[in-house]
Structure 1
Amino acid sequence: MPTVDPRAAEKAVLVAYLGAQRRHVLGILDGLDDEAMRRPVLPSGWSCVAMVQHLTLDEERFWFGAVMAGDQEAIDELGAAGDTWTVAPDLPVAEVMARYRSEIERSDAIIAGLPLDAPPAWWPGELFGDWRLDDLREVLLHMIVELACHAGHLDAARELIDGRQWLVLTD
């Protein structure tokens, strides 16, 4: 009988849950036109496309590209990106969505190349003070929580836009 590596099994579970949250984000937005993607519906004023841009830059690129991979380009973009919640009106929604999918692929490649106990290659101490995530395992858990939270925000926005709900069982 083959032996199962518990670390590999744990990593597979974490990656599966991360993927499920990413699919939730993409699934709840499926079918929205550009106007609906750009329309803010909550009092804070963010739009669905702004949330996707935030997930691309402040979540996927930051946590996996900058923190875990130590990619200097991703690190340098942190200050240059400005307000990631503001999407330029001339930036096509399809391009924002494509960037998100591309960043997910990049993140997945980084995750695949690291063990769960890999420490961050870079840490933004000036942003977080004493708070720190110690390894890929903690970054994956953090990202699962972040994506689940933001997927819930998108659920609320989508329901306000056109009444669609995610994973609702009907009679």
Structure 2
Amino acid sequence: MSDDAGTPAGPPSRPKPDPVREQLLGQLAAQRRHLLDALDGLDEETAQRVLLPSGWTLPQLLSHVTHDDELFWVSGVLGGDPRAAELLAANQDGWRLGAGISAADAVAGYTAECGRSDAVLAGIDLAAPVAWWPDGLFGDWRPATGTEVLVHLLVETATHAGHADAVRELIDGRQHLVLD
């Protein structure tokens, strides 16, 4: 195709990237890595240590984030994945699903679910309404858009990365970010 002067027009223009979307997705990726870093280098016995009064282990925490955050919020709420409804119908939550899970299985499950989440996030308009919401969950509150869900997921992931940091520091003194 060419313009009126016969000059080739070149490839069709692409929509401009959304810098806010890219910033949110970049921060989410960083917090996911941060969360996984807490398990880095730990043997199974150490990863399974209970150090907080709540009684959960690092693999249970990762299982919780896998199911109650990645699966529910992204695959379910944004993508309409029926696994999220099945999780609620079975009255299961990520903490109980994580009981007895190995660290390697927790990491593999989280990594796989993050991959599914990334596919959902790549294919949706964040300004659009959510695909699914269970009646009565959280009272009258419900997220209106994908952006609200993405921000919620980012906050949840960062919060749990902080929990994992505290446990890792109790295990061996390692701190995720040490400022000199």
Tell me the TM-score normalized by structure 2.
Answer: 0.86
Q: Give 1:98's match in structure 2, choosing from 108, 122, 133.
A: 108
Matched residue type, 1:166: H
Residue aligning to 1:112? 122
Q: Matches of residues 6-155 of structure 1 in structure 2 within 5 Å?
A: 8-80=18-90, 82-86=92-96, 87-89=98-100, 91-155=101-165
Query: Higher helix proportion, which one?
Result: 1
C-alpha separation in 2, matches of 1:23 and 1:81: 29
Residue aligning to 2:9? none
5+ residue gaps, structure 2, are 1-12
Matched residue type, 2:152: H
Instruction: Give the structure with higher Rg (CA).
Output: 2
Compute the displacement of 1:71 (Å). Answer: 1.1
Does the 8 Å contact 2:85/2:134 carry over to 1?
Answer: no
- Identity across aligned pairs (percent)? 50
Does the residue aligned with 1:122 lie in a helix, a strand or coil? Answer: coil
Q: Report how many aligned residue pairs link the two structures.
A: 167
CA RMSD of aligned residues (A): 1.8
Tell me the TM-score normalized by structure 1.
Answer: 0.90
Compute the displacement of 1:83 (Å). Answer: 4.2
Residue aligning to 2:167? 157
Residue aligning to 2:16? 5
C-alpha separation in 2, matches of 1:125 and 1:5: 37
